[in-house]
Amino acid sequence: MRTLAFSSDTEKLNWLIVEGFYSSPKLVSQKLERIKLPSNIEEGEGLCSLIRTLGLLIDTQTPKQVAVLQPGKSKFQNTSFVRIKIEAALQIAATQKNVPLHLVSPVSVSAYKKKLDKAGLSLEAVLNDGRRFSPIVMSDVICAGAIKLPHE
């Protein structure tokens, strides 16, 4: 199943495509792609622009589902309002394209990595010839997508 997986920060969205199964995911590309957020994301026009961009991405990548890694807690114990808007924009774009969207918690990502560890595997070994992913957030985005893949 083709899954479009995302993570975000206050300046950009990171995305990639994961296919295959929960226990044996495959990357469509070895590169983590980025979408720079509109500078006016705080305004309605910027939010609409992001929704259009995400809709076009969904059209071109043809995923069967979307997985979004939710932000963890910050040192201030809150989530950035920009990240909340990004998550809403993703939900709207996916809904407009009739593609199911799943929110993935950071705890689920950690649990997935631990399951691989117990099996004597690592995401890097399975997908990247043992090399660390660069940037590091790439492994979390992969996990967010892999978690929502079907079981074999």
Per-residue model confidence as pLDDT tens digits over 66-106: 999 998 765 555 667 888 899 999 999 999 999 999 999 99
Nearest to 4 by CA among 51, 58, 49: 58
Among residues 60, 79, 62, 61, the alpha carbon closest in space to that of 70 is found at 79
Domain that holds residue 38: 3-147
DSSP string, 8-36: E-SSEEEEEEEEEETTEEEES-SS-EEEE
**Would 19 be classed as within a structural domain?**
yes
Mean pLDDT of the chain: 90
* 99-125 pLDDT tens trace: 999 999 999 999 999 998 888 888 888
Look at residue 73 in the predicted model and tell me its pLDDT: 64
For residue 128, the tally of other CB atoms under 10 A from its CB is 17
pLDDT above 90 coverage of the chain, percent: 62
Q: Which residues pair with 19 in a beta bridge?
A: 26
Two tokens, residue 15: 């995305």
Angle among Cα 77, 10, 48 to the nearest 5 degrees reads 120
Burial 85-116 (b: 16+ CB within 10 A, else e): bbbebbbbbbeebebebbebebebbeebbeeb
Q: What is the pTM of this model?
A: 0.91
| CB atoms closer than 10 angstroms to residue 26 | 13
Q: Residue 27: which CATH number? A: 3.30.420.10
pLDDT at 77: 57
Q: At 10, is the pLDDT very low, low, confident or very high (cuts 50, 70, 90)?
A: confident
Q: Quickly tell me which residue has 């808007």 as its tokens.
A: 85
pLDDT at residue 15, as a whole number: 97
What is the pLDDT averaged over residues 42-52? 91
In a domain, 152, yes or no: no
30 in any annotated domain: yes
Number of domains observed in the structure of the chain: 1
Give residue 27's pLDDT: 93
What are 74's two structure tokens? 């910050």
pLDDT band per the 50, 70, 90 thresholds, residue 136? confident
Whether 56 is in a domain gets the answer yes
- pLDDT score at 121: 82
